[in-house]
Structure formats: structure tokens, C-alpha cells
Amino acid sequence: QVQLVESGGGLVQAGGSLRLSCAGSGLTFSRYVMGWFRQPPGKEREFVATVNWSSTNTYYAHSVKGRFTISRDNAKNTVYLQMNSLKPEDTAVYYCARGRYYSSTDYYLSGSYDYWGQGTQVTVAS
């Protein structure tokens, strides 16, 4: 079955960096859009970034654009989220997800993704 496993979360000071990884198994990874979402404490899950299968198209939430970079290595069945200039408001559980299809309009909707990882905690201290 499809499995997505995130890693790389942790505690970091504001202004610092982290790189999250999401390893996929049980799927032909290179055929799918992959995305990152996050759920801050006490809030709903929100879109962070997405990348298409060939890495030619990426989309970002306004709040992370210019600070976060999504990338993928299809040979390793892994998608990454490089997070720089972290802020306390970036504190959340971060999830990777497999896209149902490519869309230039629906990419930010959680319903556009069908498999999710278990999440990794990112805490940014002020």
C-alpha cells in the first residue's frame, strides 16, 4: 500500500533552517504531484507548497514564498521542503501528501490529495 513517511522536523531558533523529507513507497512516485501541508496548534491544516511530477511547476502559500523551497528526487522517491528564515508562526505539524491529479487551480485544497503521511513536528522558538 501507499506509504509516505516524513522526517527532519525538530526545534529550531527563529531565523534558522530545516529540511523536511518525505519518502514514498507503494506508488510510482514520479507520476504524482506531491505537496506539503501544515497544521499549526489549534488551527486547521493549511497548504504550504506543491510540485508537479517533473518539477517544472511549483506553487507556494503566500506566507512561505521566498523562504521555503519544495523539490523532489524521483529516483529516491522523495520530496523535500527546505525551510529558511523560519518564524515562530511556522510552528506546526508538517504533512506530505500525494496529489490526485495536476491542477493549476486546486493545488491548495486538501481534497486534491489522497494519501498523507503521519506528520513531523516543527517548532520555531522566538
| Mean pLDDT value across residues 35-53 | 97
How much of the chain, in percent, has pLDDT values that exceed 70?
100
User: Where do we find the cell 501541508?
Assistant: 37
Grid cell digits, residue 115: 494519501
Least Cα distance to 78 among 98, 108, 56 occurs for 98
Q: How far apart, in whole angstroms, are the C-alpha atoms of residue 49 and residue 69? A: 8
| Mean pLDDT value across residues 71-80 | 97
How much of the chain, in percent, has pLDDT values that exceed 90?
93
Q: How far apart, in whole angstroms, are the C-alpha atoms of residue 109 and residue 99? A: 10
| Confidence tier at 14 by pLDDT (50, 70, 90) | very high
pLDDT of residue 29: 87
pLDDT of residue 101: 85
Q: What are 89-115's pLDDT values in tens digits? A: 999 999 999 999 888 789 999 999 999
Q: Are 6 and 118 in contact (CB under 8 A)?
A: yes
Strand 18-25 and strand 3-7: the pairing is antiparallel
Q: First-to-last CA distance in the chain?
A: 40
pLDDT of residue 102: 82
Grid cell digits, residue 34: 506531491
Least Cα distance to 38 among 59, 56, 61 occurs for 61
